[in-house]
Amino acid sequence: MHQKKLALVNDVTGYGRCSIAVALPIVSALKVQGCILPTAILSVHTGFHDYYLDDYTDHMTPYIDSWKKNDLTFDGISTGFLGSVRQIDMVLDFLRDFKGPDTKVIVDPVMGDNGRIYASYTQDMCDEMRRLLSAADVLTPNLTEACELLGVPYRPSSDLSDADFSDMAKALADKGPQGVVLTGIHRDSCIGNFIYDHGRTSWVKTKKIGSDRSGTGDVFTAIVSASVVRGEGLEEAVQKAADFICKVMEYTETLDLPHNAGLAFEEYLTTLQ
């Protein structure tokens, strides 16, 4: 027996409850050791009107080389926001060096939302992200990202049937990841996650509470990543993440926090297991 170790490849943000600042405590609460590989360091996330950003690209190679020299191994690798083609290529190299036969790779594309790709994302980056998904065991895109990765026009969830979701997820799985979760799908008064797991499809739905908040996707991916690394099934992991976010969202709404303050998840960390 050994404690599972999960490498977290993402930015470090000082304030705003997102990225590694969210993932590390959640992964720890799930009794998995989180090991951070920073891609950037920010004072606050980019949803604030002013932020300081230190691009960590030039430091990533010597950082990773130190991990190699120390013969580190990981049971899982979870990737989040990547800021350039160069960083995506470095992560691909990292996966080649550190992905063992039993290492689970979870990729959250973090490319866009609501039908729009983020302004910082170039076409070259989108093309490289398609290469990265081929190395994933689990992929967690929203609809915007799924459409971009498939090279098809964006369609809102209201225009899509279960058969459409199944076709999209299977097309993504055919590119590498056998587990695909299409996240944040609006269905009447619910938020749904469509799961494709080795050819089997299912839904996980929870009631919609409030509106979009920064860091929600980071909470979701952290729970799914740690759960999958612990050997839990994908649907079970998604259900755990969705239930936790629903509970935390209700509490956060009672605090009347601004949207860029993220989810007040700290109150419920001890409920994760």
Query: What would the pLDDT profile of 181-195 be if each residue is shown by its tens digit?
Result: 999 998 888 999 999
Q: What tokens were used for 263?
A: 């989810």
Q: Helix (H, G, I), strand (E, B), or coil: what is residue 163? A: helix
Between CA 234 and CA 72 the distance in angstroms is 26
The angle formed by the CA atoms of residues 110, 139 and 241, to the nearest 5 degrees, is 85
If residue 5 lies in a helix (H) or strand (E), which one and from where to where? Answer: strand 5-15
If residue 139 lies in a helix (H) or strand (E), which one and from where to where? Answer: strand 138-139
Query: Where do the DSSP E strands lie in 16-99?
Result: 33-44, 53-55, 76-79
Confidence at residue 262, expressed as pLDDT on a 0 to 100 scale: 94
Q: What tokens were used for 126?
A: 């989108």
Between CA 4 and CA 22 the distance in angstroms is 18
Confidence at residue 120, expressed as pLDDT on a 0 to 100 scale: 82
Between CA 221 and CA 139 the distance in angstroms is 10
The sheet carrying 53-55 orders its strands as: 53-55, 33-44, 5-15, 76-79, 104-107, 138-139, 179-187, 190-197, 200-207
Q: How many CB atoms lie within 10 A of CB 236?
A: 13
pLDDT above 90 coverage of the chain, percent: 92
Confidence at residue 43, expressed as pLDDT on a 0 to 100 scale: 96
Confidence at residue 150, expressed as pLDDT on a 0 to 100 scale: 97
Q: What tokens were used for 86?
A: 């160069």
**What average pLDDT does the segment 249-260 reach?**
94
Confidence at residue 214, expressed as pLDDT on a 0 to 100 scale: 87
> 131-140, 163-172, 210-219, 233-242: which range is least confident on average?
210-219
**What average pLDDT does the segment 160-172 reach?**
97
Mean of per-residue pLDDT scores for the chain: 95
Q: What tokens were used for 101?
A: 């036969």
Is the separation of the CB atoms in 204 and 233 below 8 Å? no
Q: DSSP letter at 142?
A: B
If residue 193 lies in a helix (H) or strand (E), which one and from where to where? Answer: strand 190-197
**What average pLDDT does the segment 138-152 reach?**
97
Write the secondary structure of 165-193 as one string of H (helix), E (strand) and C (coil). HHHHHHHHHCCCCCEEEEEEEEECCEEEE
Between CA 162 and CA 201 the distance in angstroms is 10
- The per-residue pLDDT for range 50-73, each reduced to its tens digit, is 999 999 999 999 999 999 999 999
Confidence at residue 165, expressed as pLDDT on a 0 to 100 scale: 97
- The per-residue pLDDT for range 30-50, each reduced to its tens digit, is 999 999 999 999 999 988 999
Residue 266 pLDDT level (bands cut at 50, 70, 90): very high
Between CA 177 and CA 14 the distance in angstroms is 32
pLDDT above 70 coverage of the chain, percent: 100
